[in-house]
Amino acid sequence: MNKIKEAWAMVKLSGRVLGRNPFLVAYILASGLGVSVLFGAALTPVALNLNSGNTQFLEPYANVLPAQADRKKLTDRIEPHWAPLGATAAAVYFAGTLIIVFFNVAFLASVKRIINGKKVTFKEGLGLAWERRGAVLQWALFSATVGVLINALKGYLDNWLARRVLGLAELGWRLAVFLALPVVAAEGLTPLQALRRSGDIFRKTWGQTFAGGLGIGAFQLAVWLLVGVVPGIVLFYLGLYNTGANYGLALAGVGWMPLSLILIGLVGESMLMVLRMVLYVFAVEGVVPEEYKEQECAWFVAPRA
């Protein structure tokens, strides 16, 4: 019961921190934009070639098409391209992970300053992540490698039990990452040290972690139903049945539902990110963190004579 109360206090704090510092969402947007630009840049040559009708460059990879009969011949042609293709894909994947980790660390480091009663701007947050650049780079490399391994194994395993075991391992990995990144942001540890610390933190906060995560998930769902689904259905109904055939209104109703889901998802993701740092502070300091309120601490704030 205590764990649920503490989790609720931490979820409320996460909401307040985000409400008073909406610029935090910009880190998630910037990371999304960065990854989009990166993948866009990586895929543009392919798109340009396709657009100009040049499909010759695709020939080495044609074995993905089942219609091609002569697999041996194709494999021989593909062989020399595997290494550069694999290296390019790995480099793009790593760069994407690096962008995400960097902005996440900037977000988490900013949250730590905010809940410690300090002011921070978007630019200062980026500076805090830059101070941790070594740890960020190592974590991105480590996490990209684990991500690739998990995905590769998923493709190879066809045994039911093995797939379930891999699923559990993936869940464990996601949980470890959930609490390890605040450690990287706050302490700048190496990946293995951060993983070990995240294990310690999880042992202390598992109840609050699950309850807090579920709380934010339930909050997202409730808000989406209220702000996204209900108005969407009403607009759809009004468009089709009430005001004559106003298809624009009906379409807006249909469009609003996924759009609101994305917007609420963005807010929920940001709240979850704040919660990650709040959980870290709770585990390390032993106290549910609170925003600093001068009046409530009046006893202890009198200046020295």
Partner 1 sequence: MERDNNDPVLAGLKIDHRSGRPVYAQITEGIKALIYGNRLKPGFQLPTVRALAEALDINPNTAARAYRELERDGVINSRVGRGTFVERLDKAEGEKAVELRLKELELEFQSRCVELGLNKAQFLDYIRKGQGGK
Which of left, alpha, beta for 70 (phi over 0: left; psi -120 to 50: alpha)?
Answer: beta
Give alpha helix (H) positions in the chain: 2-20, 25-51, 71-115, 122-131, 133-156, 160-187, 191-223, 230-237, 247-285
Q: How far apart are CA 259 and CA 40, in angstroms?
A: 22
Query: Are the C-beta atoms of 220 and 18 separated by less than 8 Å?
Result: no
- Which of 53, 84, 155, 286 is in the footprint of partner 1 by CB under 8 A? 286
Query: Are the C-beta atoms of 173 and 146 separated by less than 8 Å?
Result: yes
The residue assigned the tokens 């009004």 is 238
Instruction: Provide the minimum distance between the beta carbon of 137 and partner 1 in the complex, in angstroms, as a whole number.
Output: 21
Q: Smaller CB distance to partner 1: residue 197 or 276?
A: 197
- Contact between 289 and partner 1 by CB under 8 A: the answer reads yes
- Binders of partner 1 among residues 35 to 54 (CB under 8 A) are none
- Which of 52, 65, 247, 285 is in the footprint of partner 1 by CB under 8 A? 285
The residue assigned the tokens 């004579």 is 305
Return all residues near 104 (Cβ < 8 A) that are at least 6 apart. 27, 31, 181, 185, 273
- Binders of partner 1 among residues 263 to 282 (CB under 8 A) are 281
- Which of 65, 244, 287, 295 is in the footprint of partner 1 by CB under 8 A? 287
- Contact between 238 and partner 1 by CB under 8 A: the answer reads no
Q: How many residues bind partner 1 (CB under 8 A)?
A: 27
Instruction: Provide the minimum distance between the beta carbon of 140 and partner 1 in the complex, in angstroms, as a whole number.
Output: 22
Q: Smaller CB distance to partner 1: residue 160 or 299?
A: 299
Return all residues near 178 (Cβ < 8 A) that are at least 6 apart. 198, 209, 276
The helix/strand/coil state of 90 is: helix
- Contact between 187 and partner 1 by CB under 8 A: the answer reads yes
Write each residue from 108 to 137 as x if it is in contact with partner 1 (CB under 8 A), else as -, in one continuous string.
-------xxxx-------------------
Instruction: Provide the minimum distance between the beta carbon of 236 and partner 1 in the complex, in angstroms, as a whole number.
Output: 47
- Which of 200, 222, 245, 248 is in the footprint of partner 1 by CB under 8 A? 200
| Residues making contact with partner 1 (CB under 8 A) | 115-118, 186-187, 197, 200, 281, 284-290, 292, 294, 297-305
